[in-house]
Structure 1
Amino acid sequence: MTTLTPFAGDDPAQRASDADRDRIAAVLGEALATGRLTSAEHADRLDTTYSAVTIGDLLPLIRDLPEASRTPTSPSPGTETHRVAAVFSKVIRRGRWVAGRHTELRSVFGALIVDLSDAVLPGREVTLELNSFCGKVIVAVPPGARVVDEGSALFSKRSVTGGGQGDGPLIRVTGQARFGKIVVYRGQHPSAL
C-alpha cells in the first residue's frame, strides 16, 4: 500500500529538506491556531519536525489532522513575512495569532506593543525586524525563547533581553531605532517602560 504524503511523489525514505520541515511546521501552526492541537502538543510535534531526518519521520506528525491541511499546495502565509505597523497611533497585538517566519514590526510616531507569548510561531527560528522612528516598539517573547540582537540604534533607547539558554524558539531581532525606543523582554514587563 502506498502512503500518501504532502510531498507529491516523494518516497517516505527520502531525506527531508528544510522546506519539507517548514511545510509540516506550517500545518502544525494552523492546527494550533484552529484548536486541533494544544500548545504542548504543538511544541512537541514542532521539536520532532525540526529533528526529522526523512519524509517518513514527518508523516506521523500530521497523520491525525484533516486531509486538506495535510496536503499544503503552497507555503502558509504564516511562514512568510508578516507586517504590523503603528503610524501616529497605538497598536496592541496579543493573544493567539500566527506570526511569520519574518515578522516586521514598525512604529512611526506611535506605539506598537506585541506579545508573542501565545502567538503561533512557524518554526524554531523567527526573525523580528523592529523599526522605530520617533515611536516605540515593545515586544514580549515566549518563555524559554533565546533572543539574539542584531539591530542598531541612533539617538534611541534599545533594550533587548532574553538571550542565553532556553529550549524555546530562537528569535533574531534586527532593525533600527531612530529617535525612538525598542524594548524586547521575557517574563514580567520591565518597570522602566
Structure 2
Amino acid sequence: MDLEKHPQQPAAPAQSAPAGIRASDADRDRIADILRDAMAEGRLTAEEHAERVDAVYRAKTVGELEPLVRDLPTPGGGALPSSAAPYAYGPEAPTGPADNLVAIFSSSTRKGRWRVGGRTNAFSLFGSVEIDLTEALFGQRLTVINATSIFGSVEIKVPENISLRGSGTGVFGNFEVVTLESADPEAPVVIVNGYSVFGNVEAKPKRGKLITDLHNKLRKHLGH
C-alpha cells in the first residue's frame, strides 16, 4: 500500500520555483543589508561589497539575488520573500550605460530639469560633486547612485516624496544617507551606495521639494 502512495507525493521541482519570481525592493534591501554586515565583519572587502551591491540592484529575480550571499551567513535563513508590485516609472531595475560625474581638483554639478538615468557614478578626488534630483524627471522607478569621495565631497539632494535608501562606509570620513520611505507605492526609489576616504558623502531630502507629477497624482487620488 505504501508503494501506491509514493507517486502521489508532490514533485521536488516545486521547491525551486521561487527562484524565478521577480525580486521586490524588500528582497534587494535584505540582501544589501547582509552584504553591509559582511563587509563590517571583514568577510568582504570594500571592492567586493561594491561589486555585489551593484549586482543586487541589477537583479531581476530572486534566483539572481541568492548567489550573492550564498557564501555568507544569512540571519533567519529561508527563502527570500517575494512580491510582484507594478511599477509606474518604467523598468524596475537600472538599464543602459551609467552617467559619470567626476570632480578632480574641481567641481561637477547636475541640477535643474533633467532626466535621471538608471545608474550614476559620482567620483570626487579633492573636489566636489553635487547631484540635485529635486526637479529631475525619473524615467525609471529605481535609480542607483554609486558615490566615491576621496578627500572631497559628494552631495545628493532628493525630493521629500520619494524613497531614499543607501549602504556605504566612511574611512576617516563621513557616509550618511537620510533614509526615506514614500507613502506612495509608485514613487521612485533612489539607492546611494559607495564609500568615502577622508571625505564626505551625504544624501538627504531637500525640505519643501516634491516631485510635481506625484503631488498632482496624490491630489487626484484624494479627489481635490
TM-score (structure 1 length as normaliser): 0.55
Aligned structure 1 segments of 4 or more residues deviating by more than 6 angstroms: none
2:63 alignment partner in structure 1:
none
2:143 paired with 1:102: no
Q: CA deviation at 1:162?
A: 3.6
Q: CA RMSD in A?
A: 2.8
Greater C-alpha Rg: 2
Which structure is higher in helix share?
A: 2
Alignment of 1:180-191 (within 5 A): 180-188=199-207
Q: Given the alignment, which residue of 97, 111, 114 partners 2:128?
A: 111
Alignment CA distance shift 1:128-1:176 (3 Å): same
CA offset at residue 152 of structure 1?
1.6
1:122 alignment partner in structure 2: 139
Task: Map 1:79-90 to 2 at 5 A.
Answer: 79-90=96-107
1:155 aligned to which of 147, 169, 172: 172
Percent of aligned positions with the same letter in both sequences?
25
In the TM superposition, residue 114 of structure 1 has moved relative to its aligned partner by: 1.3
- Given that residues 96 and 118 in structure 2 are in contact (C-alpha distance below 8 angstroms), is that contact kept between their aligned partners in structure 1? yes
3-state secondary structure, aligned to 2:160: coil
Q: Match for 1:158: what amino acid?
A: F
Deviations 1:105-158 (A, max 9, x none): 111100111101112222111101011000000010123111111222111112
Aligned length: 121
Distance 1:48 1:113, change over 3 A: closer
Q: Is the 8 A contact 1:79 1:122 kept in 2?
A: no
Q: After superposition, what is the alpha-carbon deviation per residue over 1:47-98, rounded to whole angstroms, capped at 9, x for unaligned? A: 27569xxxxxxxxxxxxxxxxxxxxxxxxxx843111111101222210222
